[in-house]
């Protein structure tokens, strides 16, 4: 049993304790408050003058899949041989010794959603991981966590130069629709067979991944920067009645009322970059504030290695510069990120029963001078800052 006491505790539930205690037992938070009785023999950590809060959550990155210091050897993000690869699984590409996992801990990031890149119209299934562990299997929080798809420039660039579809935005949408139609037919045959009305289809891994989306077990997570691509994703999601998450969402503020009305969440970012391609023409730090004003649910990403994962807190800080409240910015990398990943019952806040992913800092996560001093995952210390 462990008690982190005397720190300023941000629970991310709307409750803050200027001098509080977080009591941890069996990997879970047992109690949080300003007058928590401590059992005999409990290990105590004095956090006087420090900030105590939930570990940060990066809802979209490529940690462990695309390594920074390698080219082809460490890049397993995109399978360029086929634009439609729903059967690929990010869990099979993650390298637990990727230096990015240590970097994540140094920035207070305890959970990441990592997955394929955006070269393919359908890239494969994403996975949510804790950022400490010897094997991928022990790090997994949720798999699959969504099926990655992409519209816009990236699939066109990857395949158009080879004169192979997609060459246009129309082709990207067409390939996505075709795959979902095939998945629907596969699902129909499965359901008919279960009802005794025919033989089941031959096993098809591509179709199995698509049926998880069509059954609404996992969301379709679509890379879409421009407003027109966002609307195409919405159109397809309506057509097939699937859950949708918009990734990157550079121009999401231009269609914010529609996103709010249809309750479609977005993951915005990366923010610490320049306008590296045409789709980023309208990149703005004010996007998050505009989405918040419109009632759109959102979280903030790094897209590591595009922005190093340890700068997730600073990425959230940029939304404050753009007009978002500090509380909402913190939620975008804690509670709201957890909810977007369907993990609000486990992560994102300091509450009894939640997993004890806790970080101790010597200042605000928004301050570039702040150091993350200690990181706990499931109540176990996995990182301590070296002086």
Q: What is the pLDDT of residues 31-75, one digit of tens each?
A: 999 999 999 999 999 999 999 999 999 999 999 999 988 778 889
CATH architecture assignment, domain 1-54+349-387: Roll (2.30)
Q: What is the pLDDT of residues 95-135, one digit of tens each?
A: 999 999 999 999 999 999 999 999 999 999 999 999 999 99
For residue 6, the model assigns a pLDDT of: 97
81: pLDDT strictly greater than 80? yes
pLDDT average, residue stretch 279-292 = 97
Domain spans, the chain: 1-54+349-387, 56-347
SS3 sequence, the chain? CEEEEEEEEECCCCCEEEEEEEEEECCEEEEEECCCCCCCCCEEEECCCCEEEECEEEEEECCCCECCCCCHHHECCCCCCCCECCCCEHHHCCCCCCHHHHHHHHCCEEEEEECCCCCCCEEEECEEEECCCCCHHHHEEECCCCEEEECCHHHHHHHHCCCCCCCCHHHHHHHHHHHHHHHHHHHHHHHHHHCCCCCCCCCCHHHHHHHHHHCCCCCEEEEECCHHHHHHHHHHHHHHCCCEEEEECCCHHHHHHHHHHCCCCEEECCCCCCCCCHHHCCCCCCHHHHHHHHCCCEEECCCCCCCCHHHHHHHHHHHHHCCCCHHHHHHCCCHHHHHHCCCCCCCCCCCCCCECCEEEECCCCCCCCCCEEEEEECCEEEEECCC
Q: What is the pLDDT of residues 245-255, one digit of tens each?
A: 999 999 999 99
For residue 269, the model assigns a pLDDT of: 97
138: pLDDT strictly greater than 80? yes
Q: Is the fold of 1-54+349-387 the same as that of 56-347?
A: no
CATH architecture assignment, domain 56-347: Alpha-Beta Barrel (3.20)
Q: What is the pLDDT of residues 163-173, one digit of tens each?
A: 899 999 999 99
């Amino acid at each position: 049993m462990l008690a982190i006491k005397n720190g300023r505790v941000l629970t991310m539930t709307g409750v803050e304790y200027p001098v509080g205690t977080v009591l941890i037992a069996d990997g879970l938070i047992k109690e949080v408050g300003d007058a928590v009785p401590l059992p005999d023999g409990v290990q105590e950590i004095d956090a006087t003058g420090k900030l105590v809060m939930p570990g940060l959550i990066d809802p979209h990155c490529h940690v462990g899949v695309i390594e920074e210091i390698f080219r082809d050897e460490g890049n397993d993000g995109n399978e360029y041989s086929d634009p439609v690869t729903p059967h690929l699984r990010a869990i099979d590409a993650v390298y637990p010794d990727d230096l990015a996992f240590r970097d994540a801990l140094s920035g207070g990031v305890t959970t990441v959603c990592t997955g394929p890149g955006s070269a393919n119209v359908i890239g494969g299934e994403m996975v949510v991981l804790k950022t400490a562990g010897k094997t991928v299997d022990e790090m997994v929080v949720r798999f699959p966590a969504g099926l990655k798809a992409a519209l816009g420039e990236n699939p066109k660039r990857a395949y158009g130069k080879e004169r192979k579809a997609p060459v246009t935005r129309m082709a990207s949408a067409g390939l996505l629709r075709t795959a979902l139609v095939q998945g629907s037919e596969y699902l129909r045959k499965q359901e008919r067979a279960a009802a005794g009305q025919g033989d089941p289809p031959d096993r098809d891994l591509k179709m199995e991944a698509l049926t998880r989306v069509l059954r609404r077990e996992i969301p379709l997570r679509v890379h879409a920067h421009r407003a027109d691509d966002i609307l195409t994703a919405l159109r397809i999601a309506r057509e097939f009645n699937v859950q949708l998450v918009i990734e990157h969402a550079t121009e999401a503020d231009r269609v914010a009322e529609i996103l709010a009305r249809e309750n479609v969440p977005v993951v915005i970012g990366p923010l610490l970059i320049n306008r590296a391609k045409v789709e980023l023409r309208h990149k703005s730090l004010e996007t998050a504030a505009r989405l918040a004003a419109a009632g759109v649910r959102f979280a903030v990403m790094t897209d590591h290695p595009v922005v190093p994962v340890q700068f997730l807190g600073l990425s959230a800080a940029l939304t404050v510069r753009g007009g978002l409240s500090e509380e909402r910015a913190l939620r975008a990398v804690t509670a709201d990120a957890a909810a977007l990943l369907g993990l609000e019952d486990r992560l994102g806040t300091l509450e009894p029963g939640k997993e004890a992913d806790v970080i101790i800092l010597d200042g605000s996560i928004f301050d570039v001078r702040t150091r993350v001093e200690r990181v706990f995952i499931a109540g176990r210390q996995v990182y301590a800052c070296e002086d």
